[in-house]
Amino acid sequence: MSHEKVDEAWAQKYLQGEDVEHRIGMEIYKVRTKYGVPELLAFLMNPLDFVGGTAYKIAPESTYAELKYSGKTRLTFEESRSFVEFLTLVADIRQPSTDQARVRNFLTGMASSPYTLVTSDLIDYWSRGEAATKNPETIQSAKVEKFFNFEASLSVRIEKEKLISWQVDDIRLTETDDVPDALKRLP
């Protein structure tokens, strides 16, 4: 099996940029961050930068390639005041000086909240219950925008110089403040 480095022109020969951008965007929507799962995504500047790739000749007329793309994105999350309070409380519980009455009061208030906390290893997400329409002032929601660098890994299968299949294998998000102020103010 032989292999060779490939460039952006090679990738563009087989993949349409809009399709790659769309699929990477769909995968970013699935990524769970410390803010939850994003509600809205906006690519910043050039949507995708080709980082590099390697094509492996796995048979006389069959090639498998691994490609990497990167970019910047703005993600919008719904933030709940009580969720932030809960995260703060979880951090405070680990401190020996935490007021146990404060913990009890908070958890009692959470039990009557119109949101239900669903957990796995850590806090995962909130789901709105029927009570939200009866007591909407319990939790105030706000939109939070955060900026991330991302790196996407793709795999591509070529047979007889034709694209057979491709997929986004992995998305890595890294929160960043390294975004020009003009881009932070875009709608």
Q: Express each pLDDT in 128-185 by its tens digit.
A: 344 444 444 444 567 888 999 999 999 999 999 999 999 999 999 999 987 767 666 6
pLDDT of res. 127:
40
Is the model's pLDDT at 126 over the cut of 60? no
State the Cα–Cα distance between residues 22 and 13, nearest whole angstrom: 17
Tokens encoding 14: 């087989």
More confident call, 124 vs 43 = 43
pLDDT of res. 107:
55
More confident call, 4 vs 85 = 4
State the Cα–Cα distance between residues 175 and 83, nearest whole angstrom: 20
Sign (positive/negative) of CA torsion 69, 26, 130, 124?
Answer: negative
- Residue linked to tokens 């992995």: 170
Closest CA to 168 of 181, 151, 185: 151
pLDDT of res. 69:
97
Q: Is 3 helix (H, G, I), strand (E, B) or coil?
A: strand
pLDDT of res. 109:
53
pLDDT of res. 173:
94
Q: SS3 letters for 107-175?
A: HHHHHCCCEEEEECCCEEEEEECHHHHCCHHHCCEEEEEEEEEEEEEEEEEEECCEEEEEEEEEEEEEE
Is the model's pLDDT at 105 over the cut of 80? no
Contact 81, 139 (CB under 8 A): yes
pLDDT interval class at 44 (50, 70, 90): confident
Strand partners, 125: 118
* Number of neighbouring beta carbons within 10 Å of residue 24: 22
- Residue linked to tokens 């709608």: 187
Phi and psi at residue 9, in whole multiples of 5°?
-60, -40
